[in-house]
Amino acid sequence: MLCEVTNPLLFLGVLVLVSSLLAGFGMAKAGSQSPIHLFGFAAIMALSIYLILDIEYPRLGLVRIDTFDQPLIELRKGMDSIPENAR
């Protein structure tokens, strides 16, 4: 891999700054700003950041993977109950 991002917050911060900078330069050329476009940009940026963080930390957000851990938990419990003479 050429570049590996280990911290998504750094990547998201750069993404927000660059995209906001480009959007700001684009809107500065216009005579007036459209409230629909301003709200749309803010909503899309917020949704993108939320989804990226939710996928990065799946046990904390809406994307839940707790059910996938259940077989491993049951296996571990089974290992704890092995009798001493069987080891």
Distance CA 22, CA 12 (A): 15
* pLDDT score for 64: 73
> For the chain, what percent of residues have pLDDT higher than 70?
85
Tens digit of pLDDT for each residue in 51-73? Answer: 877 877 777 777 777 777 788 88
Tens digit of pLDDT for each residue in 28-46? Answer: 887 788 889 889 888 988 8
Distance CA 30, CA 2 (A): 39
Residue with tokens 């419990």: 77
Query: Cα 35–40–42 angle (5° rounding)?
Result: 100
Domain coordinates in residue numbering, the chain: 33-80
